[in-house]
């Protein structure tokens, strides 16, 4: 089986971020455990994207690795959405990690970290960090499916009193239609801190825009009229639904390979 990047092993979502483990469905006795992830969504100032990427590659990523960060997965808008938006995903091993300096601060020291803030600040218009929890029991990865290169990201705000109804809808009607329509990858995560705890992020994996042009798997399964009827029913427990297209950015992502102990 082909190697999967950390976020696809641990499951990500938003922009973010959450997926099933690499085992085929037939081999899974139970869904993999939920994971906590840090999702930082930032807006780069117009005209500063290349400078931001270059600085990340030359200074920030090496500092993160030196400070002990083992992986980061980064996603950017693919045409449909905010072109200046970047989402970085890393693992939260435990919340007490935030009682210590960040990997970048640890690597650079106080003077270096102050210089880092002075340089990165003018590149960023806004930034927000979320703690999200993956919900693998609400998603699936088809047997033999390759890690998606792109994804349809959907942000769903659910009514506070209707969370269980929404999750039952996903596990039943929605997943059945998604699989029938040929969907191979579906991931779900839920906000824990940093935003509304009734917001879910879902990812439908796609290979490219030609794949997107075939239509959403649910639409392929039910047809336009069927989707309209399903979405009308989902309106009983959702407040707002927004879709974007995102693509993994290898320039901003990294994984530190584990080395065998001598």
SS (H, E, C) the chain: CCCCCHHHHHCCEECEECCCCCCCHHHCCCCCCCCEEEEEEEEECCCCHHHHHHHHHHHHHHHHHHCCCCEEEEEEECCCCCCCEEEEEEECCCHHHHHCCCHHHHHHHHHHHHHHHHHHHHHEEEEEEEEEEECHHHCEECCCCCCCCEEEEEEEEECCCCHHHHHHHHHHHHHHHHHHCCCCEEEEEEEEECCCCCEEEEEEEECCHHHHHCCCHHHHHHHHHHHHHHHHHHCCCEEEEEEEEEEECCCCCEECCCCCCC
pLDDT tens for the chain, residues 1 to 262: 333 444 333 334 433 443 333 333 333 445 578 999 999 999 999 999 999 999 999 999 999 999 999 999 999 999 999 999 999 999 999 999 999 999 999 999 999 999 999 999 999 999 999 999 999 999 988 888 877 889 999 999 999 999 999 999 999 999 999 999 999 999 999 999 999 999 999 999 999 999 999 999 999 999 999 999 999 999 999 999 999 999 999 999 999 986 544 3
Q: Is residue 111 part of a domain?
A: yes
Q: Is residue 2 part of a domain?
A: no
Question: What is the rounded distance in angstroms from the CA atom of residue 249 to the CA atom of residue 85?
Answer: 12
Q: Is residue 261 part of a domain?
A: no
Q: Write the CB contacts of 53 (distance below 8 Å, at least 6 apart in sequence).
A: 249, 251, 252
This prediction's pTM: 0.86
Q: Is residue 258 part of a domain?
A: no
Could you tell me the CATH number of the domain that includes residue 122? 3.30.70.100
Q: Is residue 242 part of a domain?
A: yes
Count of the separate structural domains present in the chain:
1
Q: Write the CB contacts of 101 (distance below 8 Å, at least 6 apart in sequence).
A: 67
Q: Is residue 7 part of a domain?
A: no
Q: Is residue 259 part of a domain?
A: no
Parent domain of 98: 12-22+31-249
């Amino acid at each position: 089986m082909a190697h999967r990047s950390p976020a696809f092993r641990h499951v990500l979502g938003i922009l973010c971020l959450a997926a099933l483990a690499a085992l085929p469905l037939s081999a899974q006795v139970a869904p993999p455990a939920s994971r906590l992830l840090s999702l930082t969504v930032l807006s780069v100032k117009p005209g500063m994207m290349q400078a931001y990427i270059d600085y990340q590659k030359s200074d920030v990523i090496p500092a993160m690795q030196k400070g002990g960060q083992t992986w980061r997965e980064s996603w950017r808008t693919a045409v449909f959405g905010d072109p200046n938006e970047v989402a970085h995903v890393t693992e939260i091993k435990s919340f007490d990690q935030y009682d210590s300096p960040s990997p970048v601060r640890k690597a650079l020291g106080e003077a270096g970290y102050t210089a880092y803030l002075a340089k990165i600040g003018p590149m960023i218009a806004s930034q927000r960090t979320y703690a999200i929890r993956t919900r693998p029991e609400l998603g699936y990865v088809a047997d033999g499916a390759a890690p998606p290169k792109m994804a349809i990201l959907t942000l769903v705000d659910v009514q506070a009193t209707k969370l269980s109804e929404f999750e039952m809808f996903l596990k039943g009607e929605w997943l059945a239609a998604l699989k029938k329509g040929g969907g191979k990858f579906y991931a779900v995560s839920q906000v824990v801190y940093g935003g509304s705890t009734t917001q879910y992020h879902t990812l439908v994996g796609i290979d490219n825009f030609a794949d997107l042009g075939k239509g959403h798997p649910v639409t392929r399964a039910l047809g336009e009229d069927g989707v309209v009827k399903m979405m009308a029913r989902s309106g009983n427990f959702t407040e707002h639904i927004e879709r974007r297209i995102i693509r993994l950015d290898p320039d901003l992502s990294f994984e530190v390979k584990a080395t065998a102990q001598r």
